[in-house]
Structure 1
Amino acid sequence: MIFETLKPQIESIVSDDKKPVNDRLMAICKLLENSVSYYNWVGFYFRNGDKEELVLGPYVGAPTDHTVIPFGKGICGQVAVSNQNFVVPDVSAQDNYIACSITVKAEIVVPIFVNGNNIGQIDIDSNTPDPFTEDDERFLEFVCAQVATLL
């Protein structure tokens, strides 16, 4: 499975303390987008201080206008409130979906916790309908736990 081969690479990126945090986050985005065929947009959103909004961090993929997302809005905003993974097999079936690109068919968002607080999330869009499995969730939870050590 591809995820098992990616885990040591994620650990290596995270542990490279000679590079700034944002460079390491970008390296993770690039690794995931290049390694998993159905990961077409990979990025991080982080809580904006004490405000109830998320701000876009490093990402790879098509440019997005969604650089600030209020809590509760869209899939990312809902994860900021629920503190739960959110897998969307078909974005067209979601009422509270913020469209970034007409090519996106599915999305997965997994929160990042530091000291029990949801401080951000990894967001992945796919142009493939219903591609995400429980293996994606477990792997992305691993990625988020590694990223949490940087923050």
Structure 2
Amino acid sequence: MDIIKNKVAKIIAEKTTVENKLQAICNLLESTISYYDWVGFYFKNGDKEELKLAEYTGEETEHTIIPFGKGICGQVAVSNSNFVVQDVSEQDNYISCGWKVKSEIVIPVFVNGENIGQIDIDSHTANIFTPKDEELLEYVSEKVATIL
């Protein structure tokens, strides 16, 4: 995971747009970690109580806008806490992005103490996420916060 962290730090330091950096991080995570099947960022949509999809890698999703409180991402927007779901079929408040998705991890991004967005990972494998994933994604979240 340290190699990935170093690559993320290099992406953050590049002289390019925020959008390019976010896309590069999505591409890196999805291509490096075999069970990261969809990687994306959602950010608060202006003053609205909703999240808007930003950069992502993986299958297209119709969930470009997610109301606060709805699904895993929407719950993280309200709770301000990490949410690791090892088996999405056990979640009542889950928005399905496709039948292949078995587990999901969502880590908030804080800027000046405010939850302004999140990184969202879907996996086609159940019970796959470990505390190492959470630690890596918290690191990514902290790095991303420095460019927003």
Return the TM-score normalized by structure 1: 0.97
Map Cα deviations across residues 41-93 of structure 1 (whole Å, 9 max, x no partner): 00000001111100000000000000000000000000000000000000011
Q: Counterpart of 2:145?
A: 148
Q: Counterpart of 1:13?
A: 11
Unaligned residue ranges in structure 1 (runs of 5+): none
Q: Counterpart of 1:40?
A: 37
2:19 alignment partner AA = N
Structure 1 residues 108-147: aligned runs within 5 Å: 108-147=105-144
**Following the alignment from structure 2 to structure 1, what is the Cα–Cα distance between the partners of residues 12 and 40?**
16
Superposition misfits of 4+ residues, deviation over 2 angstroms: none
**Following the alignment from structure 2 to structure 1, what is the Cα–Cα distance between the partners of residues 34 and 84?**
17
1:71 to 65, 68, 71: 68
Q: Counterpart of 1:84?
A: 81
Map Cα deviations across residues 8-38 of structure 1 (whole Å, 9 max, x no partner): 100000011x211001000000000000000
**What is the Cα-based RMSD across aligned positions, in Å?**
0.4
Please state whether the residue corresponding to 2:56 is helix, strand or coil.
Answer: strand
**Following the alignment from structure 1 to structure 2, what is the Cα–Cα distance between the partners of residues 149 and 113?**
9
